[in-house]
């Protein structure tokens, strides 16, 4: 029996009176959450401690390390964000700058602010025929590390769209210079179990990354806010890493969330081949059955091999809208939600993302397939009316380039003044600007706001996407570093 389940069964069935936290005293106030309340405890005698595990939590983390192929694994109950913060802080004392993929999640930039480290950015590759970013450019990384001494390399793989970089090659290059590689694999926890099977790409762990952070709640059957951090090799000081985890994890970790991680991992391990076979079959059938769509299309790595994409996770269904159709991703997402009762993960200007996992049902895939076919037929019938007036589509980079003028910390701590966005050209931002999801900053404090950035923000706003970050963005105002 799983150790988490047996230990929490023990407390649930005991007569032990709780003169300790939490304040609900294991007495449910919500009948729908009753089973959680009676198992929700703190670090009492005999129930181990996440911050210094010596008993069953240690055994569960060892089980995770064996399952994923890491040297050590750590349960995270503050999400992947706390793992990213701890990972970057664990290498922040190493001399040198950090080399960071510019399309990383905002938690990476929060860590850069807290550490004050100087940074160089790697921009992802792109292809004008596709509306999203590609993989990290290995040649660009090679040039950078040949001329600069770096304390670490940090990037995201897979991305929100499931784009995977050549992590194995990047790690080989980095390790030849004794540079550790930290990979935000929040969207690829399933790759740690099924990756490299010929259908799913390899996990960053298999590819040699030094620290890999995964959200178990994103693509595995675990509760929201749960994640794992894996470490391997000799380039990471484990003592410092563990200390940083104690800083960024709650000092009162939820045993319910930890049990959820345990349940998910044991469930997947015990049914590994059965789950993979069923999941792969559903995805293969879905890609085959959507191949005949005329106005919509599913992105597939088969069309881009050897170009701007190294590999792609087929579990991310990126449903794109062809040029001149006259529909936005926002409109497609709204239609799927309101008419067909299908909630997408994310809506972008020209596409939507449907996230899948081993827990998706055949009925769910069939409902999405039927909806896309019906929408596609209606678009064909309406195409002459919906076509954009201009036949020529202007191809734009799916992510704007920016110029770094100050570190994030210096910019956020500098004297600032407010500007209307339209008047902020060439100013240095003192705030983050991002779309959420996916939470990737379009503007980072310390970057100069170029005309390309302003045009990009206008375009996203016109497409109905929600721009977040600045306190007064709803008024079109941003704080910039004062000229003084």
Domain ranges of the chain: 3-270, 273-386, 403-481
CA 84 remoteness from chain centre: 11
Token pair of 157 as six digits: 């793989």
pLDDT of 471 reads 87
pLDDT in tens, the chain (484 residues): 578 999 999 999 999 999 888 899 999 988 899 999 999 999 999 999 999 999 999 999 999 999 999 999 999 999 999 999 999 999 999 999 999 999 999 999 999 999 999 999 999 999 888 889 999 999 999 999 999 999 999 999 999 999 999 999 999 999 999 999 999 999 999 999 999 999 999 999 999 999 999 999 999 999 999 999 999 999 999 999 999 999 999 999 999 999 999 999 999 999 999 999 999 999 999 999 999 999 999 999 776 666 899 999 999 999 999 988 989 999 999 999 999 999 999 999 999 999 999 999 999 999 999 999 999 999 999 875 555 444 455 566 777 888 999 999 999 999 999 999 989 999 999 999 988 888 899 999 999 999 999 998 888 888 888 888 888 988 989 999 998 7
Helical pair 362-386 and 272-289, crossing angle rounded to 10 deg: 20
How far apart CA 376 and CA 220 sit, in angstroms, is 31
CATH number for the domain whose boundaries are 273-386:
3.90.1150.10
**What are the start-end ranges of the H helices in 91-166?**
106-115, 138-147
Beta-sheet pairing, 181-184 with 150-156: parallel
Sign of the CA dihedral with 199 first, then 200, 201, and 207 last: negative
- For residue 385, how many other CB atoms are within 10 A of its CB? 7
pLDDT of 390 reads 44
How far apart CA 291 and CA 336 sit, in angstroms, is 19
Nearest CA among 6, 48, 46 for reference residue 266? 6
Beta-carbon contacts of residue 94 (< 8 Å; ≥ 6 apart) = 151, 152
Nearest CA among 27, 10, 5 for reference residue 18? 27
pLDDT of 393 reads 54
pLDDT of 304 reads 67
Kindly report the pTM of this predicted structure: 0.94
CA 120 remoteness from chain centre: 21
Matching CATH number, 3-270, of 3.30.160.60, 1.10.287.110, 3.40.640.10, 3.40.50.300: 3.40.640.10
How far apart CA 156 and CA 187 sit, in angstroms, is 9
pLDDT of 473 reads 87
Q: Which fold has domain 403-481?
A: Ornithine Decarboxylase; Chain A, domain 4 (3.90.100)
Nearest CA among 199, 249, 195, 237 for reference residue 83? 249
3-state class (DSSP) for residue 478: strand
Q: Would you give the end-to-end CA distance of the chain in angstroms?
A: 65
């Amino acid at each position: 029996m799983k150790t988490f389940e047996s230990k929490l069964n023990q407390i649930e069935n005991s007569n032990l009176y709780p003169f300790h936290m939490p304040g609900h005293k294991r007495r449910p106030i919500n009948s729908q959450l009753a089973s959680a309340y009676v198992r929700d405890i703190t670090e009492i005698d005999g129930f181990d401690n996440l911050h210094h595990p010596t008993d069953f939590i240690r055994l569960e983390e060892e089980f995770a390390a064996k399952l994923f192929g890491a040297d050590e694994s750590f349960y995270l109950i503050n999400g992947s964000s706390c793992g990213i913060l701890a990972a970057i802080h664990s290498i922040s004392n190493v001399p040198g700058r950090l080399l960071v993929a510019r399309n990383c999640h905002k938690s990476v930039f929060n860590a850069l602010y807290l550490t004050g480290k100087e940074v160089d950015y790697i921009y992802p590759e792109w292809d004008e025929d596709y509306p999203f970013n590609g993989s990290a450019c290995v040649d660009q990384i090679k040039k950078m590390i040949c001329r600069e001494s770096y304390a670490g390399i940090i990037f995201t793989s897979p991305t929100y769209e499931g784009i995977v970089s050549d992590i194995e090659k990047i790690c080989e290059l980095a390790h030849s210079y004794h540079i550790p590689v930290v990979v935000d694999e929040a969207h690829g926890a399933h790759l740690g179990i099924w990756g490299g099977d010929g259908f799913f790409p390899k996990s960053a762990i298999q590819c040699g990354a030094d620290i890999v952070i995964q959200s178990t709640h994103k693509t595995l059957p675990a509760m929201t806010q749960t994640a794992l951090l894996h470490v391997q090799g000799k380039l990471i000081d484990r003592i410092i890493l563990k200390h940083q985890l104690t800083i960024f994890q709650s000092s009162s970790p939820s045993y319910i969330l930890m049990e959820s991680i345990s349940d998910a991992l044991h469930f997947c391990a015990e049914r590994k081949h059965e789950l993979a076979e069923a999941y792969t079959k559903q995805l293969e059938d879905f890609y085959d059955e959507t191949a005949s769509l005329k106005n919509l299309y599913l992105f597939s790595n088969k069309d881009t091999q050897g170009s701007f994409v190294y590999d792609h996770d087929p579990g991310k269904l990126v449903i794109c809208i062809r040029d001149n159709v006259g529909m936005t991703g926002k409109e497609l997402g709204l239609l799927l939600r309101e008419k067909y009762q299908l909630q997408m993960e994310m809506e972008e200007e020209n596409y939507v993302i449907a996230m899948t996992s081993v827990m998706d049902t055949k009925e769910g895939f069939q409902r999405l397939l039927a909806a896309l076919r019906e929408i596609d037929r209606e678009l064909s019938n309406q195409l002459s009316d919906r076509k954009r007036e201009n036949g020529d589509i202007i191809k734009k980079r799916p992510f704007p380039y920016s110029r770094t003028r100050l570190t994030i910390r210096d910019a956020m701590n500098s004297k600032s003044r407010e500007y209307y966005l339209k008047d902020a050209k060439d100013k240095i931002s003192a705030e983050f600007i991002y779309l959420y999801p996916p939470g990737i900053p379009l503007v980072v404090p310390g970057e100069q706001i170029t005309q390309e950035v302003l045009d990009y923000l206008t375009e996203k706003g016109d497409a109905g996407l929600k721009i977040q970050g600045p306190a007064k963005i709803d008024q079109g105002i941003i704080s910039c570093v004062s000229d003084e």
